[in-house]
Each structure stands twice: as structure tokens, then as C-alpha cells.
Amino acid sequence: MTGTDVNAIGYIAQGLFSARFIVQWISSEKAGKVVAPTLFWQISLIASFLLVVYSILTKDITILGGQMIGYYIYVRNLRLQEAWRILPLYFRLFVLIVPIGAVLTLLFGGQYSFLSMMGNHQNIWLLAWGLTGQAIFSCRFIYQWYYSEKVKKSVLPLGFWLISIIGSILISSYSIYLEFYPIFIGHLFGMVVYSRNVVLYYKSRRRKK
């Protein structure tokens, strides 16, 4: 597989990630408040799968780690919205098996194994920067998961968007240094949507007062 093919996978993945936030953005603008439509989580699953493939092909452990954390959280949110079981059985089985395949690749993938990925990072400080950014960025969905379980419904609270902005800034600087342009472009667009959702959140709060 050529570098162009690998980048194409990355651009498609980031395009889908951007599309999910366009869907979420439009739904929120119509509702006048921040909402999380079912389609947002469905697109997230497909995009996450593609980004797992991209991260393995580019041998980047930071991107892979972030996707592995968020993957099952997307599934849980579909369950909370009672939209998981309406998906075709073959799709649900595929979704649940993908992380297992990724783990097997990390263990026995030869040039795409975990050891190979670690060897691909010669600059330990850059790796630490990327991992920090990805850890913060991934925490947004851990926070979202915790918050949703607390209120017993799928929601995107204010903290989700604030954590997203901070994580995006760190990952963008990391990705531009390594010339991971699909990642950089995706996060650049994301920051616009994250900021708009913060504005919508405070507007809806003012209307309630």
C-alpha cells in the first residue's frame, strides 16, 4: 500500500469525523441547544475503524490509543439511545470484533506490531507530547460516558467540548510536526465546531434563566 493510499484512508476517516460534527452542529442549531443525535455515534464508529487502520499503517501509537479508548464508548452511547439493536447483526458483530483484530495486529503484526510502532518514534519528547494530547482528547469521551451514565441518557456536556479544544490544540501541533495532514485538518475543523457548541451551551443556559 502506497503513502497516497494510506493518506486517503486518513482523509476519509477525518472526513467522516468532521461529518459527524456537522450532523451534530446542525441538530444543535435546530434545537437551540447542544444535542447528540444517533447518527453522530453511528458515523463515529465507522470513522474510528478507519482511523484505527490508518494509525496502524502509519505506525502511530498515539492515534491508535485514542481510538481504542473511544470505540466502545460510541457503542455504549448507541445503547443509551436504544439504537444499537436496530443495527444489522453482521455490523454489530463486526464492530465488536475490530478491536480484537487491532490487538492481534499489535502483538503479531510484524512491521505493524507494537514494538515496531514504538521504534518508529525516535523523539521521546515528541512522543510524550502526542500521548499527552491524545490522553486529554480521549478523556472527553470518558467524561461524556460518565456524565451520560449519571443522567441515564446520551448527552454531550460542556466539559466534553472544553476538553476537546485543549486536546485538539496539542494533537494538531503534534500532527503538523510529523506531517500527518489528515489528522491536522480534522482537528482544525473540529475546533470550530467545539467552540460553537460552547457558545450554544451558554446561549441555552441564558434562555432558561
Q: What are the DSSP calls for 128-184, one per residue?
A: HHHHHHHHHHHHHHHHHHHHHHHHTS----HHHHHHHHHHHHHHHHHHHHTT-HHHH
Using an 8 Å Cβ cutoff, are 61 and 117 in contact?
Answer: yes
pLDDT per residue, tens digit, the chain (209 aa), is: 677 888 899 889 888 988 998 999 999 999 888 888 999 999 998 998 888 888 888 877 777 777 777 788 898 999 999 899 888 898 888 888 877 777 777 777 677 666 666 666 667 787 788 888 888 888 888 999 999 999 988 889 999 999 999 999 988 888 887 777 777 888 888 898 899 999 988 888 777 76
Crossing angle for the helix pair 3-31 and 38-57, to the nearest 10 degrees:
160
User: Which cell numbers hold the place of 136?
Assistant: 486529554
CA 46 – CA 138 distance, rounded (Å): 17
CA dihedral (189, 190, 191, 193) positive or negative: positive
Among 138, 160, 128, residue whose Cα is nearest residue 66: 138
Q: Which residue has the cell 483484530?
A: 101
Using an 8 Å Cβ cutoff, are 173 and 129 in contact?
Answer: yes
Q: Which phi and psi (to 5°) does residue 59 adopt?
A: 60, 45
pLDDT for the residue 187: 84
DSSP 84: S
Tell me whether residue 118 is exposed, middle or buried, using C-beta atoms within 10 angstroms of its C-beta: 0 to 12, 13 to 18, 19 or more. Answer: exposed
CA 70 – CA 145 distance, rounded (Å): 10
CA 55 – CA 49 distance, rounded (Å): 10
144: amino acid identity, one letter? Q
pLDDT for the residue 127: 76
Among 40, 54, 47, residue whose Cα is nearest residue 181: 54
Q: For the chain, state the CA radius of gyration.
A: 17
Domain locations along the chain: 3-208
